[in-house]
Amino acid sequence: MFFAGAITLVIFWSVTPIASAIFTKSEIKRTVLSVGTTTAGLRPLNDQFSAINADFMMTAYETLWLGQDLPAFTTADAAIAPFDVEQKI
């Protein structure tokens, strides 16, 4: 009985530090040249008036008053057209 407990302790003392080293998240920075393209464009101004519906207004309300996350490619100060990486150079 004593040996089973001792073996269990040794296993946990050795496996736990190794497991944390394996699953540790770390940031790796890498620079890759690539060609980017926009995946969506802005609509002409005349089309935008008809495209703004209740969904748009609800998203604006949720963001401003309820503190929800901003949509993708958007900050509090600016928004850019969504883009995608076309190919690697």
> For residue 68, what are the contacts with CB-CB under 8 A and spacing of at least 6?
62
Residue 52, sorted as left (phi over 0), alpha (psi -120 to 50) or beta, turns out to be beta
Q: What is the pLDDT of residue 1?
A: 66
- In this prediction the pTM is 0.39
* Total Cβ atoms within 10 A of residue 73: 13
pLDDT in tens, 4-43: 888 888 888 877 777 777 776 777 788 878 887 777 777 7
Q: What is the pLDDT of residue 81?
A: 76
Q: Quote the DSSP letter at residue 74.
A: B
Residue-range domain boundaries for the chain = 2-88
Phi–psi pair at 74, nearest 5 degrees: -135, 140
